[in-house]
Amino acid sequence: MKNINVYNLRKLVEGTEFKNLPQMTTQSYHELAIIQGDKGIMIIDDEAVGRVAKSLDETFKLGISEKKDNVIYIMPQYTINIPIKDIIKETECREVSIREFVRKFGSRLESNFKIALKTIDEIGLDSKEYYNEANWLPL
């Protein structure tokens, strides 16, 4: 089975100095998987929610908030646009199976996972190379 590349956005944001802003952190997306195919680039979070981009030059909008102890922000304080190519170039990456990365417990998450597998096919890759239920034992 092929692995997917998962990028740590929290480390990217926390390692960046933003002009006129205090230390920032990610609001919701801490990691994103980026899967590149001949017909597009799929970007998903650990619930298999995401989108397909046509090129690495497209941007990804990311919610960020001030990093404070004992504070949980419900909504991001700011949003930034990060080119997908910069996420790939500047962010720590790990390779994992799609099965490890995407949570699929519950009907909504299972549906998201099936949509993600279909999207892998739509961007010109073979989803069976990334996940084949017959080849996996239950978690």
The band of 134, judged by pLDDT with boundaries at 50, 70 and 90, is: low
pLDDT score, position 136:
52
- Please give the tally of structural domains in the chain: 1
This prediction has a pTM of: 0.85
The band of 139, judged by pLDDT with boundaries at 50, 70 and 90, is: very low
Per the structure, the complete domain to which residue 129 belongs is given by 4-135
Strands 78-83 and 40-44, bridge-based pairing:
unpaired
Residue 138 pLDDT more than 70? no
pLDDT score, position 119:
96
Structure tokens at 104: 């699929």
| pLDDT tens digits along 59-115 | 989 999 999 888 888 899 999 999 999 999 998 899 999 989 998 778 888 899 999
| pLDDT tens digits along 18-38 | 888 888 888 777 899 999 999
Which residues are CB-contacts of 93 (< 8 A; sequence separation ≥ 6)? 5, 6, 7, 8
pLDDT score, position 135:
55
